[in-house]
Amino acid sequence: MKDLILVKYAPEIFLKGLNRGKFERRLRDNIGKKLEGIKVEFIHDSGRYFLKTDEIEESIKRISKVFGILEVCLVKEVEIDIHELEQVAFEKVKEAEGKTFKIVTNRANKKFELNSMEVSRKIGGYVLQNYEGDINVDVKNPDILINVEIRNNYAYVWSNDDITKGAAGLPYGMNGSTMLMLSGGIDSPVAGYLMAKRGVEVNCVYYHSHPYTSERAKDKVKELAKILAQYTEKINLYIVPFTDIQMEIIDKCREDELTIIMRRFMMRIACKLADKYGINSVSTGESIGQVASQTMDGLIVSDDCADRPAFRPLIAMDKTDIMDIARKIGTYETSILPYEDCCTIFVPKHPKTNPKLDPIRKQEEKLDIDELIQKSIENMEVVTF
């Protein structure tokens, strides 16, 4: 009898038709990369992976962060023999805490003489007969759920205590790439996480307004990129100097239009970098109505500067729900550190909430847009996590 790791992947992967093999291979590669340095043997068995390794605990911790995985289970590999199954399931019930239990059997091996109902009933009977103390069967809402799976060569047994929830989503890298505008706030790291979860490769750009935004504000963004990288592969963070652009806008444009013009520059630069590095979309942490610049008109006016899809995965989410995800993925504590952001240092007293394209474009005629962008990109810094 051996301990193995059973990896179940998200049902969406089964729906991929002819592409299913590609998704499965990618998932396998992504798991392999996460387990770098750990000796592990993979067994692919119709719709799931079994992993053999001596470092089970560490492996489960790492695998549960791989997108595309539904559950990671620590299972006992058992000979296909009803007496052995009874014994192992019984031990599992004893180990767990609870007053009620249920045995669920899945028999993929149709040659085994008992059907799944018969197996469950037999094991259940054995547990009831041999358990010292109070225990009952509850098929609706059991405290202890024991899974028994009978496959071609072996059977597997595990309880609900042996299951670690996976990160769900789709395998990273299967759905194109995006340039995420990453600020030090709560929202944009969550936006990046959600894009990555759907299989989109994430790269980040941060606009830094030295000396108005400090080195510590920059470090905070680096830390956020590093946390995101735990869920992705390596992440490139492009740190683009933004002060000269902001100064020029303040100098030449109307005060109530500063924010929206600044946002248009952010969009242009993100697209330009995306083009330079072969990235096919951009993403932001905007949510409709959250602040003055995130109105429908504001978003339309920023999108005017995009030459590729601009995704906003948080668009219809409430702040409290965004914060819950931030806590879950471990970015929240870093995001709330109180360092300034370039958007908060030059805020107009009454920013326009319903900007229109023509007047904004007119304002921008006073700026040498290409030159400003060119200079910023020339002076950017790239950090990889």
Is there binding between residue 188 and ligand ATP (CB under 6 A)? yes
CA distances 237 to 5, 180, 189, 380, 385, Å, are 34, 9, 12, 10, 8
Is there binding between residue 182 and ligand ATP (CB under 6 A)? yes
Pairing of β 40-44 and β 48-53: antiparallel
Asked if residues 101 and 25 have their Cβ atoms less than 8 Å apart, the reply is: no
Binding partner of 6, given ligand ATP, Mg ion, none, CB within 5-8 angstroms per partner class: none
Is there binding between residue 206 and ligand ATP (CB under 6 A)? yes
Question: 207: annotated binding-site residue?
Answer: yes
Nearest residue (beta carbon) to ligand ATP: 185
Question: 26: annotated binding-site residue?
Answer: no
Q: Nearest-CA neighbor of 343 among 217, 183, 180?
A: 183
Is there binding between residue 376 and ligand ATP (CB under 6 A)? no
Is there binding between residue 341 and ligand ATP (CB under 6 A)? yes
Q: Nearest-CA neighbor of 35 among 7, 8, 55?
A: 55
Q: Which residues contact 370 (CB under 8 A, 6 or more apart)?
A: none
- How buried is residue 380: exposed, middle or buried, by Cβ count under 10 Å (0-12/13-18/19+)? middle
CB of 291 to ligand ATP, least distance (A): 5
Cβ proximity to ligand ATP: between 145 and 182 the closer is 182
CA gap 336, 228 in Å, rounded: 16
Is there binding between residue 196 and ligand ATP (CB under 6 A)? no
Is there binding between residue 236 and ligand ATP (CB under 6 A)? no
3-state secondary structure of 215: helix
Cβ proximity to Mg ion: between 86 and 341 the closer is 341
Cβ proximity to ligand ATP: between 147 and 287 the closer is 287
> Residues 280-299: x/- map of binding to ligand ATP (CB under 6 A)?
----xxx---xx-xx-----
Cβ proximity to ligand ATP: between 171 and 185 the closer is 185
CB of 310 to ligand ATP, least distance (A): 10
3-state secondary structure of 214: coil
Question: 206: annotated binding-site residue?
Answer: yes
CA gap 335, 70 in Å, rounded: 28
CA gap 206, 209 in Å, rounded: 10
Cβ proximity to Mg ion: between 185 and 298 the closer is 185
Q: Which residues contact 335 (CB under 8 A, 6 or more apart)?
A: 184, 185, 186, 189, 220, 224, 326
CB of 43 to ligand ATP, least distance (A): 42
- How buried is residue 214: exposed, middle or buried, by Cβ count under 10 Å (0-12/13-18/19+)? middle
CB of 294 to ligand ATP, least distance (A): 6
Is there binding between residue 183 and ligand ATP (CB under 6 A)? yes
Q: Which stretch binds ligand ATP (CB under 6 A): 53-61, 93-101, 132-140, 186-194?
A: 186-194
One residue of 186, 227, 301, 329 binding ligand ATP per CB under 6 A: 186
Residue 371 tokens read as 């030159």
Binding partner of 290, given Mg ion, ligand ATP, none, CB within 5-8 angstroms per partner class: ligand ATP
CA gap 233, 156 in Å, rounded: 32
Binding partner of 291, given ligand ATP, Mg ion, none, CB within 5-8 angstroms per partner class: ligand ATP
CA distances 188 to 117, 243, 314, 352, Å, are 49, 21, 9, 22
Question: 332: annotated binding-site residue?
Answer: no
CB of 13 to Mg ion, least distance (A): 35
Residues contributing to the site for ligand ATP (CB under 6 A): 181-183, 185-188, 205-207, 266, 284-286, 290-291, 293-294, 341-343
Annotated binding-site positions for ATP: 181-182, 206-207, 263, 285, 294
